[in-house]
């Protein structure tokens, strides 16, 4: 049987790297779009690039950018993917307040460019859009596929545009297109400026005596933090179903940033109160107070459920940082 071909935008990101591993293990031919950079930006997939059995055999990388529509058309025509996973994004909510225009261009219009590239290239493909719980914003939890959207950041607003464009291409052109509305998911590969990884690194460094304290913004925000490798499987499950649809992936549990810090510092036998300091620079002009996802549709229709909950996730991430410091 012919191997399936997948195209991943954002393959160098946290989710892109896990998804590439997941699809390669399922015998997919994986193509990824990477950005030209003046420094190395492939650390999360370097182990795949270094493997000569994989690189340029089942994994192919192409330069491209979500702001370059003609390049997206060329790549889709050339690759003829069976499945496209659109994970590329300026994904930092705080940064989106500083760069609203670029965030809108890469996250919002970028998705329109990719959808239009599929239409122009006239390929038969399935399309996954990385939608976000940030789109719910100010609407109180629990949030499900039926909950009203109320984004509270340029990032949330740009993701909402992408969400609707994905639905529109499904309805207007019959494209097999799905929105995965994913709540926060984290891992040892999470970017270091997101709160879970920032706290995990700090707890390990403080316990090892190489850092004194950590500066954070709002400690009272509630998030639903799951484990990223479990969520990329959910993305794939959406594209294997007989019918395209939109799904929430979450854990249906909520913890404050304060509780997250407590779990992380407890892992190394410390009390977070002694080390966490406030810095107004990390407070957002508008905050999303509480996100807790109801994933019952994904469970019922796809058979997807999370396995790792926030306390275990925090411990896992801190233990990883401790092990790195010891090496
Ligand atoms: P991430 O680690 O920040 O990765 C983002 C990826 O997008 C990177 O590969 C990045 O490339 C690439 N990228 C950024 N701007 C680009 C552009 N203009 N053109 C092409 N590529 C570009 O994000 P993630 O956590 O893996 O999340 C994956 C997707 O899911 C994102 O769309 C994010 O917004 C969405 N999402 C994430 C979560 C979560 O909790 N993680 C929840 C809901 C939705 P470089 O490596 O070169 O920077
Ligand atoms: O880790 P965060 O930056 O993640 P946030 O804003 O929830 O966004 C992440 O999840 C979204 C899904 O809901 C994704 F779509 C998005 O791409 C990204 O992956 O912040 C989490 C919470 C916020 O309430 C923030 O105000 O932590 C609070 N926080 C407190 N101090 C901090 C800090 N966040 C960061 N990044 N850094 C701090 O020092």
DSSP 280-313: GGGS-SS---B--B--HHIIIII-------HHHH
Question: Which-ligand-closest: CA of 194?
Answer: 2
The minimum-distance atom of ligand 2 relative to the CA of 186 is: 19
List of the chain residues with pLDDT < 70: none
Dist. CA 264 → ligand 2 center (Å):
16
The minimum-distance atom of ligand 1 relative to the CA of 155 is: 34
Q: Which residue has the tokens 């395209």?
A: 244
Query: Residue 59 phi/psi, 5° resolution?
Result: -125, 130
Dist. CA 71 → ligand 2 center (Å):
31
Check residue 187 and give its pLDDT.
98
Check residue 1 and give its pLDDT.
83
The minimum-distance atom of ligand 1 relative to the CA of 184 is: 40
Whether the full predicted model's pTM is greater than 0.85, yes or no, is yes
* Nearest alpha carbon, ligand 1 atom 27: 15
Judge whether 180 and 158 are in contact, CB under 8 Å: no
Check residue 3 and give its pLDDT.
97
> What is the per-residue pLDDT across 233-242, written as a single tens digit (0 to 9) for each?
999 999 999 9
Residue numbers annotated as active site: 132, 134, 155
> What is the per-residue pLDDT across 79-132, written as a single tens digit (0 to 9) for each?
999 999 999 999 999 999 999 999 999 999 999 999 999 999 999 999 999 999
User: Comparing C-alpha atoms, which of 186, 241, 251, 193 is closest to residue 217?
Assistant: 193
Check residue 327 and give its pLDDT.
81
Check residue 132 and give its pLDDT.
99
Structure tokens that stand for 311 in this block: 């306390």
Rg of the chain over Cα atoms, rounded to whole angstroms, equals 20
């Amino acid at each position: 049987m012919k191997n399936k071909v997948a195209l991943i935008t954002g393959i160098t990101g946290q989710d892109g790297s896990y998804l590439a591993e997941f699809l390669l293990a399922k015998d997919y031919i994986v193509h990824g779009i990477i950005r030209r950079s003046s420094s190395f930006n492939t650390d999360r997939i370097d182990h795949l690039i270094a493997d000569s059995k994989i690189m340029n055999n089942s994994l192919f990388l192409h330069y491209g950018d979500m702001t370059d529509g003609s390049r997206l058309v060329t790549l889709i025509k050339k690759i003829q993917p069976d499945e496209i996973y659109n994970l590329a994004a300026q994904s930092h909510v705080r940064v989106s307040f500083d760069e609203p225009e670029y965030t809108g261009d890469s996250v919002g219009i970028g998705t329109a460019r990719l959808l239009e590239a599929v239409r122009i290239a006239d390929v038969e493909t399935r399309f996954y859009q990385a939608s976000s719980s940030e789109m719910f914003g100010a609407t109180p939890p629990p949030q499900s596929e039926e909950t009203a959207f109320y984004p509270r950041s340029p990032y949330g607003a740009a993701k909402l545009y992408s969400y609707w464009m994905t639905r529109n291409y499904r309805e207007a052109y019959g494209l097999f297109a799905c929105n995965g509305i994913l709540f926060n998911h984290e891992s040892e590969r999470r970017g270091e400026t997101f709160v879970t990884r920032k706290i995990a690194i700090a707890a390990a460094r403080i316990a090892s005596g190489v850092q004194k304290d950590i500066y954070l913004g709002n400690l009272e925000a509630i998030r639903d933090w799951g484990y990223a490798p479990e969520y990329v499987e959910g993305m794939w499950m959406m594209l294997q179903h007989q019918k395209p649809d939109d799904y929430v992936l979450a854990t249906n549990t909520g913890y404050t940033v304060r509780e997250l810090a407590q779990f992380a510092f407890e892992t190394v036998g410390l009390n977070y109160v002694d080390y966490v300091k406030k810095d107004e620079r990390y407070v957002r002009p508008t905050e999303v107070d509480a996100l807790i996802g109801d994933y019952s549709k994904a469970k019922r229709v796809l058979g997807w459920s999370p396995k790792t909950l926030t306390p275990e996730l925090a411990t896992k991430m801190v233990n990883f940082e401790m092990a790195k410091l010891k090496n």
